[in-house]
Structure 1
Amino acid sequence: MTESARSEIRAALRQLLPILFAALPFGMVYGAIAIGAGLTLWQTLGFSATVYAGASQLAALQLIGIGAPVWSVLLAVVALNFRHVLYSASVGRHLTRFSAPQKAAAFFLLVDPMFGAAEARASGQKLTKTFYFAYGLVLYFGWLAATLVGALFGALIEDPLAYGLDFILPVYFLTLLMTFRARSQFYPVALASAATSILVYLTIGPPWHVTIGGVAGVFLAAVARPAARPTGEGVDA
């Protein structure tokens, strides 16, 4: 392994470490709840390994617990995870050196923290395969390990919210968001997305506020971008 690759791995792990402290307890909570809901150990681990989306996994368990029909469970999972389509469109611009199988693996690993880390990294330098997969794979297997621990020893976690763990991830994402504040139209887009999300949350309710708020921000960015160009500026070839 070259020194450059080792440097990329170290950079990825430095960024990931605080996220692991916040994410792993939620993986344990999911594992405990899944076992409590009647899933077997292998079903619990398989759900984490294939869906790999904490909020969606917990929402699905809640719906299953109240006897909701399968279509309702699937709809909730799709609604919560639809933002990942937007993530893929954004991060995909930085994966030009990735082969097709590597892109498929990269998109599978593209959960919320991975998106934030990838965009932040790409804003200042090249997003390398080594950085991306070091971050993504450690986070993925960390989530599986947390699921296993929760499934086996879930009774040890009584109330993770009492430690403020639910507040760590929002603060982390707000910090990542503000690293892009120098970009053109940042504040109008962010405010439009936030306002739309709040409005949808108060009217339609979750989980649609996540997706619709994101789409509103993308729409405003797409509409505002041509207006921001100086008159006479040509289109890149």
Structure 2
Amino acid sequence: MSNSEAARLPRSDFNEGIRAIAPLVIAAFPIALVFGALAAQKGLTPFETMLMSGVVFAGGSQFVAIDFWATPVPWIAITISALLVNIRHILMSASLGSKTRQMGFGKQLIAFGFLADEVWALSEHRARKEGTSFAFMMGLALPFYVNWVVTTGVGASLGTMLADLDPAKWGLDFAFPAIFIGLIMGFWQGNKTGMILAASGLSAIACKAYVPGAWYIAAGAVAGVVVAAFLADPQVEGE
């Protein structure tokens, strides 16, 4: 490979990341608008909404935080709930850790700082097929990040206009589940995957029914990990 070809690789990877994330950026657009509108209804300004999106950058925990938002702000409840919702990021970072060592710790820290479910899923797919790179992950993360921050601000600016918006009427309440179902199916590997998903889903449903708060997220994650470990093939893992 010539030096000129090598120099083009990061840009090529970055562009590939943009192309891969583009459909999910579009899918996240209405979700961001809805969040911005909800934030405005809770009294947040467009700037405060964008600041929250830029610093937190986690749609699930942001919706939980807005649901708890009141005067005075219940910081402890919001913090604990957001932690439970985002605990999955530990598992996502761990799964990519060994696949991104070539980046170096500094670039890993930056890439994982922009990690979202969609960015993780596409990075995992790429890593399993041909290896991933810092440029590819940034191509995924930056458009998704900018879209989320800007669009939540737009939603907050249009808060009064969207005050009567019923997400269910337009099917927007299913946007989040639809995205995650699509991401999950990308990892489908037959009966083993089905058993892991069943254990995770049933555990989460049971926990949500009997335990208040967002503990159902942690319960689903733990159940899925336990079943996955039980079903793992030692010979494959040892190769």
Bin of the TM-score, shorter chain as denominator length: 0.7 to 0.9
C-alpha distance in structure 2 between counterparts of 1:116 and 1:235, whole Å: 24
**Partner of residue 50 from structure 2, selected from 45, 53, 65:** 45
Give CA-to-partner distance per residue, 1:37-95, whole Å, 9 cap, x none: 22233322211111111221122122122756321111111111111111111122221
TM-score (norm 1): 0.85
Gaps of 5+ in 1: none
What does 1:133-212 correspond to in 2, within 5 Å? Answer: 133-157=138-162, 158-182=165-189, 185-212=192-219
Other structure's SS at 1:163 match: coil
Q: CA RMSD in A?
A: 2.5
Determine whether 1:59 maps to 2:70. Answer: no
Q: Sort the Cα spacing of 1:210 and 1:49 in 2 relative to 1 into closer, same or farther, 3 A.
A: same
Work out the number of aligned pairs and report it.
232
Instruction: Name structure 2 gaps, 5 residues minimum.
Output: none
**Residues 25 and 143 in structure 2, CA contact (< 8 A), matched pair in contact too:** no
| Separation (CA, whole Å) in 1 of partners of 2:90 and 2:98 | 13
Q: Is the 8 A contact 2:16 2:136 kept in 1?
A: yes
CA contact (8 A) 2:203 2:223 kept: yes
Name the CA distance, whole Å, in 2 between partners of 1:11 and 1:111: 18
| Alpha carbons of structure 1 residues 36 and 131: separation in structure 2 relative to 1, 3 Å | same
Q: How does 1:17-96 map to 2 (within 5 A)?
A: 17-65=22-70, 67=72, 69-96=74-101
Identity value in percent:
30
Q: Deviations over 1:190-217 (max 9, x none)?
A: 2221221222122215522122111111
The answer to which of 81-90 and 199-208 deviates more is 199-208
Stretches of 4+ moved more than 3 A in 1?
1-7, 233-236
Return closer, same or farther for 1:234/1:106 CA change in 2, 3 Å cut-off: closer
How far apart, in 2, do the equivalents of 1:175 and 1:28 lie? Answer: 21
Contact kept, 8 Å, 2:35 with 2:63, in 1: the verdict is yes
Q: Which residue of the other structure, out of 110, 119, 124, is the alignment partner of 1:119?
A: 124
The TM-score with structure 2 as length reference comes to 0.85
Selected match of 2:107 from 102, 110, 117: 102
For residue 86 of structure 1, what is the amino acid of its counterpart? L
Q: Is the 8 A contact 1:48 1:147 kept in 2?
A: yes
Quick check: 1:116–1:173 contact (8 Å CA) kept in 2? no
